[in-house]
Amino acid sequence: MAPGLPRAASRGALLGCLVSACLSCSGPPRPDPAYIEEIERYRTDRVQRLQQPDGWLTLLGLFWLERGETTFGSAASNPIVLPDSAAPPVAGRFFYDGASASPLRANRFGTFRSTSHRGRPRRP
């Protein structure tokens, strides 16, 4: 073994450590501004979708429907009771035939009319 080899190896190791330390001081890489903009746009759109009248943030509860008619509103006599601030005493009813449910809402006269999210009436 040559007498200068251990010293040369330790100099190389020291130099490698210094280079590594200098490179790590530059900080993490910065993300692409277009990527940041895309993420922010997605978050904004998601919050808007959640806050829509039919979004998940307007969900008041999950209730099982029995076959036939089920009324809902703020009155305690309804099978589905909603908060007073959310609905009138009888806001409407669901008619469930075992396969699908048809929502019926009460109008200002207390009678029910068929509604559909597609704007077409449904039969109870």
Task: Please check whether residue 18 lies inside any domain of the structure.
Answer: no
Q: Give the count of domains, the chain.
A: 2
Q: Each residue of 24-37: pLDDT tens digit?
A: 666 678 889 999 99
Cα distances (angstroms) measured from residue 89 to each of 54, 80, 113, 115: 21, 11, 17, 19
From 17, 41, 59, the end of a domain falls on 59
Task: Please check whether residue 51 lies inside any domain of the structure.
Answer: yes
Task: Please check whether residue 105 lies inside any domain of the structure.
Answer: yes
Domain around 77 = 63-114
Task: Please check whether residue 23 lies inside any domain of the structure.
Answer: no
Predicted TM-score (pTM) above 0.75: no
Task: Please check whether residue 26 lies inside any domain of the structure.
Answer: no
Rama region for 9: left / alpha / beta (φ>0; ψ in -120 to 50; rest): alpha
Q: Each residue of 70-110: pLDDT tens digit?
A: 988 899 999 989 888 878 888 888 888 888 888 877 665 55
